[in-house]
Structure 1
Amino acid sequence: MKNKLVMLMMILLVAIALAGAVALVYVLKYTNQEPGSEPSIEQVLDVSVDIPEITTNLASDGFVRISFKIQTDSKKAKKELEQRMFQVNNIIILELSDKTAENIKGREGQKQFEEELKTQINEIMQEGKVEKVYITQFILQ
């Protein structure tokens, strides 16, 4: 009885190790990158969506002209984001309408705004997620 139990545990451990090795080989072969490494620029561009220039009023008397590139985690997520462009534009406009020029002026303000957009857009995504939001044009007046 004891021998059968030990043999069964050994078979299960070997099977689990083999499944893990197969999964690792698959990931390394088909993603063409090392675990934990950054994706290549080609991979980033393949899953990124450009948000055309938006001009809108701020909560203060000024206005902003801004455009973005949004990086997703997969091609499916990119396709979904392209279909949800009207929702993304709405999120951007609503977020900007609550901001003053002081809120989004400077590096820290823009970084915080990028993170806020990422969080808001991820709330509507179903087929993946947004990895990074990049501000590609920014004019504040």
Structure 2
Amino acid sequence: MNPKLFKMMIISLIVITLAGVGAVVYIMFFSGDDPPEELSIDDMVNHSFTTEEMTTDLQDGSIVRIQFQLVTDGKKARQEVEKRQPQLKNIFIKESVSLSEEDFQSGLSELETNIKNQMNELMDDGKIIDVYITSKIIQ
């Protein structure tokens, strides 16, 4: 084997290895999402949208009347949520069809999370940070 060719192969392998290690280090330490800034209470109020009351039937024949407050990350996102209210209602109805009165009594964190995630898939301008249930009546 030619000594020059062998030297070139070793140097090439070292360079490729160093580049790979450098890329991994960069990805692990310097890229990725920065933690989101905490919104002040004033920003939360200004960027929130409160839905009208929504009524639907549940799996066990009960009826629920509910109202949500969606906190967004900005003014444009708030405006978009307001425009997407029919989609929000649709998501709520689809989510609640498999729930019973007991589910509504035992906590609704999963419902809030599912609504937030599904709405964020639709959003173009910003995102929904939190979903709160502000009113709930079961009959």
* Normalised TM-score (structure 2): 0.69
**Residue 120 of structure 2 aligns to which amino acid in structure 1?**
N
User: Is 2:102 the partner of 1:105?
Assistant: no
Aligned to 2:133: 135
User: Is 2:70 the partner of 1:70?
Assistant: yes
What SS does the corresponding residue of 1:38 show, helix, strand or coil? Answer: coil
**% of aligned pairs identical?**
40
Can you give the 5+ residue segments of structure 1 that lack an aligned partner in the other structure?
1-34
**Residue 49 of structure 1 aligns to which amino acid in structure 2?**
F
> 1:37: how far off?
6.1
Can you give the 5+ residue segments of structure 2 that lack an aligned partner in the other structure?
1-34
Q: Write out aligned runs for 1:20-35 (5 A).
A: none
What SS does the corresponding residue of 1:127 show, helix, strand or coil? Answer: coil
Change (3 A) 1:36 1:88: closer
**Residue 50 of structure 2 aligns to which amino acid in structure 1?**
D
Q: Write out aligned runs for 1:44-59 (5 A).
A: 44-59=44-59
Q: C-alpha separation between the residues in 2 aligned to 1:36 and 1:104?
A: 30
Q: Which has the larger radius of gyration?
A: 2
> 1:39: how far off?
2.1
CA contact (8 A) 1:104 1:110 kept: yes
After superposition, the C-alpha distances for 1:12-33 in whole angstroms (9 at most, x for unaligned) are xxxxxxxxxxxxxxxxxxxxxx
After superposition, the C-alpha distances for 1:89-128 in whole angstroms (9 at most, x for unaligned) are 111122112211222222xx31111111111111111111
Change (3 A) 1:36 1:94: closer
How many residues align? The count is 105
After superposition, the C-alpha distances for 1:10-60 in whole angstroms (9 at most, x for unaligned) are xxxxxxxxxxxxxxxxxxxxxxxxx97632221101111111111110111
Aligned to 2:38: 38
1:122 to 97, 120, 123: 120
> 1:84: how far off?
0.9
Aligned to 1:84: 84
CA contact (8 A) 1:104 1:113 kept: no
* RMSD of aligned residue pairs (Cα, Å): 1.7
* Normalised TM-score (structure 1): 0.68
